[in-house]
Amino acid sequence: MPRVICAGHVNWDVTLYVDRLPEPDGEAVIEAQTGAGGGSAANVACGLARLDVPVALLGSVGEDDHGAAARAELIDAGVDCGTIQTVPDGETAVKYLAVSAAGEVMVFGRDGVNEAFTAGHLPESTLASAEHVHLTSQRPNTAARLADRAREAGATVSFDPGRRLDERDFSGALARADVVFLNDREAATALGDALDSENRTLVLKHGPRGAEVRTGTRTYTHPGFAVETVDTTGAGDAFAAGFIASLLRGDGCEEALALANACGALAARTRGARTPLDWDGVSELLSR
């Protein structure tokens, strides 16, 4: 049974690796193209599974080839997919990503049915085994209800609202979260309550400049790890997986921050949204 439940988007990513990100009315050269599973919740679930944390994923895909392929990849990674909903005649969400030679990312999305799941699709029996529920971008009411159910079941809650924080009212889920993950852009547009570290742990991701953790009484910082950046897609999700895995094994915020930065660095130095994280690679970076 899962120790962690991740809830949110399950996508199919079409990634174009280009020589540069063009300006408006400009043009870039495509050097390679790949197709693979994506979506923040799915990425974090894969990261946790690779770090030997039993994990289930609540999300939704269409009844199409992309949905079948996304599910197969998740199962192969060791993720419990019993709570992934398949929508008859629906289309799996597809994200089109352009990644420059410097690792910068531009995203174009077609949502499909990745928010068709509801809080009611999570069985009580699955939730009862979980110690932690990690929420990512989804319908605000669904996120708030899942956070309520998690707290009622005695599980802790983390929330990474993602790029659409400034477009959607996530105040309900934010108020119920024990841990909130934000990058610099999201923090600049976040609601005041999201930045409140008196009643929750606030984790701020600064990309190549590392990250920090703020609690009600302490602030912890870590400069990150110097690696050659190839693709930042999914680096924040790998970071979140590392932070959660560290907390679950009993580490404090300082240790969790270092481990999370190591996972993010491993993701940034390889192509794709789902770097196969492993404890040996993490330990190698931490030993520097």
| Tens digit of each residue's pLDDT (9 = 90 or more) over 33-75 | 999 999 999 999 999 999 999 999 999 999 999 999 999 999 9
Residue 229, token pair as written in the block: 């950046």
Residue 197: what pLDDT?
Answer: 65
Residue 104: what pLDDT?
Answer: 84
Cα separation, 281 vs 269, in Å, equals 12
| Tens digit of each residue's pLDDT (9 = 90 or more) over 82-100 | 999 999 999 999 999 898 9
User: How many distinct structural domains can be found in the chain?
Assistant: 1
Could you tell me if residue 106 is inside a domain?
no
Residues marked active site are found at 237
Residue 33, token pair as written in the block: 């193209």
Cα separation, 131 vs 61, in Å, equals 26
Q: Specify the pTM.
A: 0.93
Could you tell me if residue 187 is inside a domain?
yes
Could you tell me if residue 199 is inside a domain?
yes
Could you tell me if residue 32 is inside a domain?
no
Alpha-carbon separation of residue 141 from 11, 74, 182 (angstroms): 20, 26, 20
Domain that holds residue 191: 4-10+38-91+112-286
Residue 208: what pLDDT?
Answer: 83
Can you point out the beta strands (E) in the chain?
4-7, 11-18, 30-38, 55-62, 84-87, 93-99, 105-110, 132-136, 156-160, 179-183, 201-205, 211-214, 219-222
Average per-residue pLDDT in the chain?
Answer: 92
Could you tell me if residue 22 is inside a domain?
no
Query: What SS3 class is residue 85?
Result: strand
Could you tell me if residue 156 is inside a domain?
yes
Question: How many C-beta atoms lie closer than 10 Å to residue 72's C-beta?
Answer: 12
Could you tell me if residue 104 is inside a domain?
no
CATH assignment of the domain containing 185: 3.40.1190.20
Consecutive 10-residue averages of pLDDT for the chain (288 residues):
94 93 92 93 97 98 96 97 97 93 87 96 96 97 98 97 84 92 84 67 91 92 88 89 97 96 91 85 89
Could you tell me if residue 212 is inside a domain?
yes
CB-based contact 194:179 (threshold 8 Å): no
Query: What SS3 class is residue 86?
Result: strand
